[in-house]
Amino acid sequence: MKRRTTSSKQAVFNILKSSEVALSQDDIEKKVAGEMNRATMYRILNSFCEDGHVHRIFSDDGRTYFAVCLNCKENDHHHNHVHFRCLKCLRMECLKEEIEIKMPQGYTFKDANCLVTGYCNCCS
């Protein structure tokens, strides 16, 4: 299934790319110009994740956030950096810090999703 370039995809990608924080589908819907179907947007976001352009962050607020992969090379996605969600301004951002996880004997690591909540420097 070869991917096709569409204006919807470009719009979503530009919003993600120009955002300094991770965005939920809801956030993106508010930022996008005009109308875009929710199902379509989820399909776009899912395809970005599959293709490795974007990564998901599963938050404790029940939403999934999306952010462009900055330090990930093609075929080398390391998502074991820490995400931070401010409990006051609700912004979700990627922290620089990476965590090292020693897996127990016999366990195989696949992916990590590390979320820290608290207050950012503006809200502390």
Partner DNA sequence: TTTATTATTGCAACAAAGTCGCATTAATAA
Partner DNA sequence: TTATTAATGCGACTTTGTTGCAATAATAAA
Interface with a second copy by CB under 8 A: which residues? 56, 58-60, 82, 84, 87, 95-97, 99, 101-121, 124
CA distance 37 to 109: 36
Of the candidates 19, 21, 23, 24, which one interacts with DNA according to CB under 7 A?
Answer: 24
Residue 33 found at the interface with DNA (CB under 7 A): no
Task: Map tokens 């696949």 to a residue.
Answer: 110
Residue closer to a second copy, measured from CB, 35 or 100: 100
Look up residue 9 and give its amino acid: K
114 closest CA partner among 105, 103, 98, 102: 98
Residue closer to a second copy, measured from CB, 14 or 58: 58
Q: Give the shortest CB-63-to-a second copy separation in angstroms.
A: 10
CA distance 95 to 66: 14
Q: Give the shortest CB-104-to-DNA separation in angstroms.
A: 26
15 closest CA partner among 36, 2, 1: 36
Residues that bind DNA (CB under 7 A): 1-9, 24-26, 35-40, 42-44, 46-47, 62-64
